[in-house]
Structure 1
Amino acid sequence: MTQLLRHGARSQAVLQLQKALNQRGATLYPDGDFGDETEKAVRAFQRKAGLVDDGIAGPKTLAALAGADCARLLGHAQLRASAQRLGVELATVYAVNEVESLGEGFLANGKPKILYERHVMHRLLATPRHAGDDAAALQAHAEQLARLYPNLVNPRPGGYAVGTAEHARLASARLLDALCADESASWGAFQIMGYHWQALGYASLADFTARMAANEAEQFEAFVRYIESDPALHKALKGKKWAQFAKAYNGPAYARNLYDVKLERAYQRHANCHCNKEAA
């Protein structure tokens, strides 16, 4: 399970974090208590390393403290530029990044995080794309593939694997239809579906997937484009209407998963932090 050390935590892991921060120039008393001063030190290190300075020591921050390369990771500069572009407070962008992302956009093997959706594959295979396409024939083809490969083509969602195994599912689906397969996966830390590529202004599906495999900044760019493409979503974000935003982005299950509450709390935390009170 991914370890996240944040304000209020008390553990040996926090003690080790404090010692690592002190080796990087902090002057913390190493007591294993993640209080205000530890959070300030984490933010200072994150900003210096070019990371998102959210004050949470997760895998990316801990890896950076250990000397890992941060070149592909999302940073403060991208969030600040996106806040200006969207016309919202920086704390708002920090909140949506914290709550709506998967934390990391890449797997340990360097591939982008994906989630292959077999029910989307089923729908896309049955969808006419060109004049003259036979809708009945496409539907029949989709149903045939669903019978033969139910884990790859299915009217019902499911069949999910973990981590790199999702790429194996996608590779198998590409053998059935490469275009529909890549469009049927969500890509990167913000889970942007491949079939949005054209609406989000990418030159091609291949252009979209290549950018999602490049770095987290490109993945966040897709997320920003997605917000810009949906006026209602953009308006909700500007107005900090967290329930409206969460419902539009996460669907009806947002309330059960408390996405709106998490967004509000994250926003307040970042808005109250001095380093994030700069103008959007």
Structure 2
Amino acid sequence: MSRQAMFDAVRPLAPGRTFTPAQVRAGDAFADALGFPRVGDAPLDPTTADFADAAERLGCSVAQIRAVWDVEATGSGWFTGVRAEILALDGPGGFLDGSNLPKILFEAHHFDRLTGGRFRKSYPNLSSARWNKALYVGGQGEYERLHRAMQLDCDAALKSTSWGGPQIMGFNHALAGYATVDALVEAMKTGGRAHLMAFVAFVQNSGLTDALKAITTFHASAVAFARGYNGPGYSANDYHIKIARAFAKWSRA
């Protein structure tokens, strides 16, 4: 069980299924006693020591892992100062809690695939037979899309979303070191180190370690990693070029 699952289990007992502040505090205290992590307990961004640890685990340089992180996390893996209307979608003690939440992007074509296309006609903004950039709303609004999809098929919705700094797809939870997508999501809410360690596990389990270690300032050196991590469309977004440029920056640091 997770902190969220605990709150969800007792929500039917709350008037209007909305918790009072006192009930949330009591629930948090109970969850603390059970050892469930709180949102944002750890620093939001990986520390210098975290990056050094990740580089040692992967046998690469800090500059190589920092270069990829810069490109994937685009500055940070978090939405900070989450808007009140986003948090109000499921009320206190719900899935959307905390002033900071990990960055996400909900992918309608994956939701369509995982649900067999059964919501394609009724919810065309959430389920699409093909990737369609126009369906993104961007920023914190992606949580609204995710929340709506979760009401249709929670497991498929979480698996159809990319999470945190490394933007790991939920359906890749096992590659990131988590038995379930729920466990991955709960970890992504705790802090930047969890984001980085999920990335480390993903690289190792996806056979991308050597490709990461091959990155230099030359664009071609980053092609293998960019293709393996971002898929065949990597070149459309110049991922290999961005990674090589970021590596040059961190090599001088």
So what's the TM-score if we normalise by structure 1?
A: 0.63
**Structure 2 residue 40 is the aligned partner of structure 1 residue 82:** no
Structure 2 segments unaligned to the other structure (5+ residues): 1-40, 83-99, 216-220
Q: Give the 5 Å matches for 1:195-210.
A: 195-210=171-186
Shift of 1:261: 2.3
Tell me which residue corresponds to 1:188. Answer: 164
Tell me which residue corresponds to 1:235. Answer: 210
Deviation per residue, 1:97-128 (Å, 9 max, x gap): 122222111112112111111110111112xx
Counterpart among 142, 146, 149 of residue 170 in structure 1: 146
Tell me which residue corresponds to 1:99. Answer: 71
Residues 1:268 and 1:165: Cα distance change in structure 2 (over 3 Å): closer
Q: Which moved more, 1:242-251 or 1:69-78?
A: 69-78
Residue correspondences, number: 188
Shift of 1:70: 8.6
Deviation per residue, 1:191-221 (Å, 9 max, x gap): 1000111233213221110111111211121
Structure 2 letter corresponding to 1:124: L
**Structure 2 residue 115 is the aligned partner of structure 1 residue 149:** no
Q: Give the 5 Å matches for 1:1-280.
A: 71-108=43-80, 109=82, 110-126=100-116, 142-143=117-118, 145-158=119-132, 159-231=135-207, 233-240=208-215, 241-273=221-253
Residues 1:272 and 1:112: Cα distance change in structure 2 (over 3 Å): closer
**Secondary structure, counterpart of 2:79 in structure 1:** coil
Higher-Rg structure is 1
The RMSD of aligned alpha carbons is 1.9
Q: Which stretches of structure 1, 4 residues or longer, exceed 3 Å deviation after superposition?
A: none
Shift of 1:239: 2.1
Tell me the distance in 2 between the aligned counterparts of 1:70 and 1:207. Answer: 17
So what's the TM-score if we normalise by structure 2?
A: 0.69
Shift of 1:84: 0.3
Aligned residues of 2:106 and 2:142 also touching (Cα < 8 A): yes
Q: Percent identity?
A: 35
RCO (CA 8 Å, sep 6+): is it higher in 1 or 2?
Answer: 2
Deviation per residue, 1:31-72 (Å, 9 max, x gap): xxxxxxxxxxxxxxxxxxxxxxxxxxxxxxxxxxxxxx9932
Aligned residues of 2:42 and 2:190 also touching (Cα < 8 A): no
Tell me the distance in 1 between the aligned counterparts of 2:44 and 2:245. Answer: 28
Aligned residues of 1:102 and 1:190 also touching (Cα < 8 A): no
**Secondary structure, counterpart of 2:121 in structure 1:** helix
Structure 1 segments unaligned to the other structure (5+ residues): 1-68, 127-141, 274-280
Deviation per residue, 1:1-44 (Å, 9 max, x gap): xxxxxxxxxxxxxxxxxxxxxxxxxxxxxxxxxxxxxxxxxxxx
Tell me the distance in 1 between the aligned counterparts of 2:236 and 2:131. Answer: 19
